[in-house]
Amino acid sequence: MQNQTEYIVEVSDLKKTYEKVEAVKGVSFNVSKGELFGLIGPDGAGKTSIFRILTTLMFPSSGDVKLLNYDVVSEYKNIRTNIGYMPQRFSLYQDLSVEENLAFFARIFGTTIEENYDLIKDIYIQIEPFKDRLAGKLSGGMKQKLALCCALIHSPDVLVLDEPTTGVDAVSRKEFWEMLIRLKQKGITILVSTPYMDEANMCDRVALIQNGEIMSIDKPEAVIANFGRKLWAVKSNNIYQLIQDLRSIDFIDTVFPFGEYLHVTAKDLDLDLKDLKLRLKEKNHSEIEILEIEANIEDCFMELMTK
Amino acid sequence: MNDREKKENYMTKDTENIIVVKNLMKKFGSFVANDNLTFEVRKGEIFGFLGANGAGKTTAIKILSGLSFPTSGDVMVAGYDVYKERELVKKNIGYMSQKFSLYEDLTVRENIRFYGGIYGLSSKYIKEKTEDLLERLKMKDIQNSLISSLPLGWKQKIAFSVAIFHDPKIVFLDEPTGGVDPITRRDFWEMIYEASNAGITVFVTTHYMDEAEYCDRVSIMDKGRIEGMDTPGELKRQFDAQNMDEVFLKIAR
């Protein structure tokens, strides 16, 4: 096969089975050089299995997987020196200081902190005031920054980040994504997984994954354009009752809470708004608001899940 | 529930405070984890307890659930004093966390029986209520499956049901929906609404800002203090924000 673009990651019909459980059920995707690629899905979707196979920590059950043109089974040693990996669980040495951890990772990859300092500078200066503190004593946000520095210190071509923002508050999540965008601008190819659907918008392309299968793979705006049906945001004075009442209306299809509104689809292409408003009034709703809206990634994910 | 009942429920919601916290301080050495917290939670309310990592949420929840003493201040939970009546506090609350809530190597049914037993419910009552619960959760078929074999979303639904099995006055939910798929996450919130409608007060933390909108009232902590507390609508007006995400960023950044 001839590659028009340069693919950094090539995954073809990847399967992974643990005893009876099929965790990854024939997944295929490519990632181009310099791309920020997101694997979006809940716990148990297969994200970690895929990343562990890509980083050569585990063999696939079947399928072809290549990173930087090296095969993950027969040429795994060539891959390891060229990737940076941040596992989901904090995996640095808790009883070494910030600086010692960084120096350690630099040294096992045969480099020094000084050599690649430019790459980590933006991030490292934020934790440098605590460089003598033991890694185990850092706050969650600082641990995450140190882990990213350690994954970067050998200047890898590819960065693989497994759920770096899970359990992290909204502010730190935002800061973390800003760091990733800056790294991308330096030409590093980044693969990142997340259960937070709203983070899809920060990626160049995303794969929406559920139960070991990729449901959709595209640019975030293209995923949204493929939603393919009209969507309305509805609210009233009694949101809980509104969920039940909307579900009992024959021409309504799905009803999902979304912040202060409910997102609603119809069984037909369109919706008779007057009729709907009337029916809700009959059921004693007041302050009724109905507006047509554009779907977001989470709407798309749920639509694909119910298909 | 008919309208009259709902109205009564709403009325009691308005009057009776189930959690009363006054000038709560908690220090670890020189570090102030909870800095002069004062708030009330009404009966049946869904109260969102938000804040950045390290803002002091877990510390406060530990105090409210009788696991840790305040350094100073008054804290009444379900009508009991957290200094002197900790065991009564514990009996009247339920607790569910993201990390540990069920025994992986016990079956669904065994987990329910175990928790029922811990709270001193009779075998007969546990048996009846378990049938009812399995029916409602549509989990009859998997009642004898090990928890470890179930998807996370199911586990969290069972964990929540177990946490309110003894009909506590308040249930504390610590990031109950982290990592759960978007549909199950919404099913979960419908269970929360149901519990709240049945009069159980729900005290919940989350990192999903859209979930903050589902709460009756929300407090947002930063560096040990409560920096904002009101209905989501009022907070958005106060902070001139489109959504709760913006409110949160304005407070915690």
Please give the full DSSP string across A104-131, using - where no structure is assigned.
HHHHHTT--TTTTHHHHHHHHHHHGGGT
CA separation for the pair A193, A285 (Å, rounded): 41
Catalogue all structural domains in chain A, each as residue range(s) with its CATH number.
Answer: 4-225 (3.40.50.300), 231-305 (3.30.70)
Residue B251 contacts residue B220 (beta carbons within 8 Å): yes
CA separation for the pair B69, B86 (Å, rounded): 9
Residue A52 contacts residue A85 (beta carbons within 8 Å): no
Is A244 near chain B, with CB under 8 Å? Answer: no
Residue B104 contacts residue B147 (beta carbons within 8 Å): yes
pLDDT greater than 70 at residue B12: no
To the nearest whole angstrom, how far is the Cα of A197 from the nearest Cα of chain B? Answer: 8
Q: Tokens for B64? A: 């409210």
pLDDT greater than 70 at residue A179: yes
CA separation for the pair A15, A65 (Å, rounded): 10
**Residues of chain A found within 8 Å of residue B182, distances taken between Cβ atoms:** 42, 197, 256, 298, 301-302, 305
Angle at A136 between CA A132 and CA A142, to 5 degrees: 75
Per-residue confidence (pLDDT) for residue A35, from 0 to 100: 97
Residue A206 contacts residue A217 (beta carbons within 8 Å): yes
Question: Nearest Cβ partner of A257 from B189, B197, B243?
Answer: B189
Cα separations in angstroms, B46 against A32, A158, B54, B114, B170: 46, 44, 23, 27, 10
Residue A228 contacts residue A215 (beta carbons within 8 Å): no
B contact set with A (CB within 8 A): 3, 51-55, 98, 151-153, 175, 178-184, 186, 189-190, 193, 197, 207-210, 213-214, 232-233, 243-245, 248-249, 252-253
| pTM for the whole structure | 0.87
Cα separations in angstroms, B163 against A48, A186, B116, B158, B200: 30, 49, 10, 9, 11
pLDDT digits (tens, 9 = 90+) for A59-85: 999 999 999 999 999 999 999 999 999
CA separation for the pair B165, B167 (Å, rounded): 5
pLDDT digits (tens, 9 = 90+) for A252-306: 999 999 988 999 999 988 889 999 999 999 999 999 999 999 999 999 999 999 8
What size, in residues, is chain A?
Answer: 307
ipTM of the predicted assembly exceeds 0.85: no
